[in-house]
Amino acid sequence: MELRDRICVVTGGANGIGQALCRRFADEGARAVIVVDKDADGALATAEALGSRGTALTADVTVEADVEAVVERTEAEIGPIDLFASNAGILGFGGIEAPDTVWESVWSVNVLAHLYAARAMIPLMLGRGGGYLLSTASAAGLLSQPGDAPYSVTKHAAVALAEWLAITYGDLGIRVSCVCPMAVDTSMLLGVPGAAAERAGGPAGSDASRPEAQAAAVAGILSPARVADSVVAGIRDERFLILPHPAVATYEQRRAADRDRWLAGMRRLSRALAAGTRRVGSDAPPRAD
């Protein structure tokens, strides 16, 4: 699908990857880009930078009524939504000891928000013969993220939901893409808003044992703009899986080909990250054996 003249909604549009998607969709000639975020000021700033194409809406995507209101207002005041990019997501931190409250909040943002978007959009899109759903999952949803069980589990669920939607509605005109990056230079990567750009260049000032830094150690850190480039190319091709870090395809193949060997490799990677012998931002792929 070409984005020219399209009406696009982007959740998590105030910052990071979502903000880059908003800018890129506008640059591609989208008729309107609706910047949705619970960060009202950030959403407004992103929308204002888009000029007449940008509209900001404040919403918590974990509240189904908020997602419904975004869709209703957009369709009533701007027009039929062509592309709904469900992008907002959060890290979890921790393993089995992470409290249920953490698991529940990560599940709500990383999975239920995608469900609410699909529930609100699919009947409308089916009624007009088609539409496009984009969800931002993660390479952690195809592989794993050492040190962050809630993130790994919920991102796998996000990929599974996107696949299920593509299987169920693909022949009815609903196109689905799922973007699965590894490390991207946003505040999520290093956990400090505004500090990512200074800190993403290497281990100085960053902590390689942090889970969000660990993805960076595998395949390098991309800018949000590079991710947006991949997304636009993937949407143009109507490709389900969008991999801004191409190495993820190789890692996924290795995982599928020999799960025990892949798990052993991941254990080695986790140990190297914990010992600090693997550098954040290294381009070297993990050993598969």
Ligand X SMILES: NC(=O)c1ccc[n+]([C@@H]2O[C@H](COP(=O)([O-])OP(=O)(O)OC[C@H]3O[C@@H](n4cnc5c(N)ncnc54)[C@H](O)[C@@H]3O)[C@@H](O)[C@H]2O)c1
Which residue's CB is nearer to ligand X, number 129 or number 232? 232
> Shortest approach of ligand X to residue 89 CB, angstroms?
2
Query: Does 169 qualify as catalytic in the annotation?
Result: no
Which residue's CB is nearer to ligand X, number 130 or number 220? 220
Query: Which is it for strands 131-136 and 7-11: parallel, antiparallel or unpaired?
Result: unpaired
Strand partners, 10: 35, 85
> Shortest approach of ligand X to residue 183 CB, angstroms?
4
Q: Footprint of ligand X on this chain (CB under 6 A)?
A: 11-12, 14-18, 37-39, 42, 59-62, 87-90, 109, 136, 138, 181, 183-184, 186-189, 215
Which residue's CB is nearer to ligand X, number 257 or number 284? 284
> Shortest approach of ligand X to residue 235 CB, angstroms?
16
> Shortest approach of ligand X to residue 65 CB, angstroms?
13
Please say whether the beta carbons of 128 and 80 come within 8 A.
yes
The C-alpha angle with vertex 106 and arms to 286 and 198, in degrees rounded to 5, equals: 55
Which residue's CB is nearer to ligand X, number 15 or number 175? 15
Active-site pick, 132, 151, 169, 251? 151
The residues assigned a catalytic role are 151
